[in-house]
Structure 1
């Protein structure tokens, strides 16, 4: 049995973004104005590392929904930016740890 887990075009876009990031040619300011916002986010582990949080501005999902992203391939909390396999996210406030 064969499984295709993702569209090859999605993987090519993610690779292109990482190549532009490495070359210093990625407009992170533009991404930070247009990417969906993920509030109360945290890393989660399933088949891969992903993020879980409340999304706003996602092109396919309603605002206010708790979502689990696709695989995380880049994360820079210092500038509030993360790249999953399928898209960029702006990182809002992280989720508070339990008991704090």
Structure 2
């Protein structure tokens, strides 16, 4: 199996966001105002770690769809924010563990 990452601009945006986060200059208020919301979310593992949940406000996907995000890069449930390879997400409700 061959995998080719053909858009280095995506990785540059991810690295810029992580650098801003580390430097304490990331505009989380703007992100929280504009990022899609992921409700009933949980971690999933496929070829990488990702998230699965019900999306609202995504620029490409209809509201109410269950989606699997691109690769998870950063997640802080304390502030309700996650960064995937493609974009930031606001974290809504966490899906309860089954059997609990």
Give the unaligned 5+ runs of structure 1.
none
Provide TM-score, normalisation by structure 2. 0.94
Task: After superposition, give the CA deviation of every residue in 1:42-91 in whole Å (9 maximum; x if it has no partner).
Answer: 00001110000000000000000000001111000000000001100000
Distance 1:38 1:12 in 2: 24
Distance 2:2 2:44 in 1: 26
Distance 1:45 1:64 in 2: 22
| Residue of structure 1 in register with 2:11 after alignment | 11
Instruction: Say whether 1:81 aligns with 2:71.
Output: no
Question: Post-superposition shift, 1:8?
Answer: 1.0
Give the unaligned 5+ runs of structure 2.
none
Distance 2:17 2:85 in 1: 10
Instruction: Say whether 1:35 aligns with 2:35.
Output: yes
Moved segments of 4+, more than 3 Å: none
Partner of 2:10: helix, strand, or coil?
helix
Question: Post-superposition shift, 1:4?
Answer: 2.1
